[in-house]
């Protein structure tokens, strides 16, 4: 899977669909969550930073985490003196980062992670008290969304109630689903949601 993303990195931002999805996800997140200038945010599966650089102007720091070093090279090439995102190539499920964040965002990366329960457990550990997640992905679909094939795709979207249970079991509360965008392909629609939740205070 990582090799496919490395090969695709150079042309990843071309075309409208990924740009439109990232914009819609950002709009949905920013309308539901107060992004403040003292916040540190992780963008999980950040890729080339399509979402990261929309979040970055509103917060203190954004760390883009991904398994593809070529994708992250594209991300860092966008950094400037005025706006930058830190790139970390690391599997946080195997090797957690040594910091906690006010929030974790992600766009269209969760379906590439086999163990969704372990992913949200990792998110929980990476969040400060009362930290939030805002994760965008596909509603349950029939496996036809990825026109290149399903190599590295572990989930054909997600059933909301099953995902809600997974998120709550990982120690989150206030789980809410929000429609973000619908991808239209060959007379078939693929809705994308953003799910938000808050780390339980103990």
Q: Where are the domains of the chain?
A: 2-199
Burial 41-64 (b: 16+ CB within 10 A, else e): bbbbbbbbbbbbbbbbeebebbbb
Residue 105 pLDDT: 98
In whole angstroms, what is the distance from residue 45 CA to residue 106 CA?
6
Count helices and strands (H / E) in the chain.
6, 7
What is the percent of the chain with per-residue pLDDT over 70, rounded to a whole number?
84
What is the percent of the chain with per-residue pLDDT over 90, rounded to a whole number?
74
Place 16 in a pLDDT band, splitting at 50, 70 and 90.
confident
**Who has greater pLDDT, 168 or 183?**
168
Burial 145-161 (b: 16+ CB within 10 A, else e): beeeeeebbebbbbeee
Q: Is the pLDDT of residue 7 over 80?
A: no
pLDDT, tens only, 118-177:
999 999 999 999 999 999 999 988 666 766 655 665 666 899 999 999 999 999 999 999
Is residue 127 within 8 A of residue 156, CB to CB? The reply is no
Place 117 in a pLDDT band, splitting at 50, 70 and 90.
very high
Nearest residue to 51 (alpha-carbon basis) of 201, 191, 167, 181: 181
Q: Is the pLDDT of residue 2 over 90?
A: no
Strand partners, 105: 43, 134
Question: Across all residues in the chain, what is the average pLDDT?
Answer: 89
Q: Is the pLDDT of residue 178 over 70?
A: yes
Residue 142 pLDDT: 66
In whole angstroms, what is the distance from residue 124 CA to residue 24 CA?
25
How far from 101 is each of 61, 136, 138, CA to CA, in Å?
10, 18, 25
Decide: pTM greater than 0.85. Answer: yes
Please tell me the number of Cα atoms within 13 Å of 88 on its side-chain side. Answer: 17
**Superfamily for 2-199?**
Vaccinia Virus protein VP39 (3.40.50.150)
What's the average model confidence in pLDDT over 7-20? 64
Nearest residue to 193 (alpha-carbon basis) of 168, 161, 147, 154: 161
Residue 88 pLDDT: 97
pLDDT, tens only, 48-65:
999 999 999 999 999 999
In whole angstroms, what is the distance from residue 22 CA to residue 194 CA?
11
Is residue 139 within 8 A of residue 191, CB to CB? The reply is yes
Place 9 in a pLDDT band, splitting at 50, 70 and 90.
very low
């Amino acid at each position: 899977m990582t090799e496919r993303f490395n090969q695709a990195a150079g042309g990843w931002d071309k075309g409208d669909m990924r740009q439109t999805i990232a914009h819609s996800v950002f709009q949905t997140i920013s309308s539901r969550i107060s992004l403040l200038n003292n916040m540190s945010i992780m963008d999980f599966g950040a890729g080339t930073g399509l979402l990261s650089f929309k979040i970055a102007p509103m917060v203190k720091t954004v760390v883009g985490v991904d398994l593809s070093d070529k994708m992250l090279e594209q991300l860092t090439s966008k950094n400037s003196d005025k706006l930058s995102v830190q790139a970390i190539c690391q599997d946080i499920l195997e090797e957690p980062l040594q910091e906690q964040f006010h929030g974790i965002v992600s766009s269209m990366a969760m379906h590439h992670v086999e163990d969704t329960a372990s992913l949200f457990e990792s998110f929980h550990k990476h969040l400060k008290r009362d930290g939030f997640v805002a994760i965008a992905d596909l509603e349950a679909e029939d496996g036809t969304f990825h026109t290149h094939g399903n190599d590295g795709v572990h989930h054909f979207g997600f059933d909301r109630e099953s995902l809600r249970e997974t998120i709550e079991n990982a120690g989150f509360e206030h789980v809410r689903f929000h429609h973000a965008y619908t991808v239209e392909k060959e007379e078939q629609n693929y809705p994308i949601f953003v799910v938000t939740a808050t780390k339980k205070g103990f």
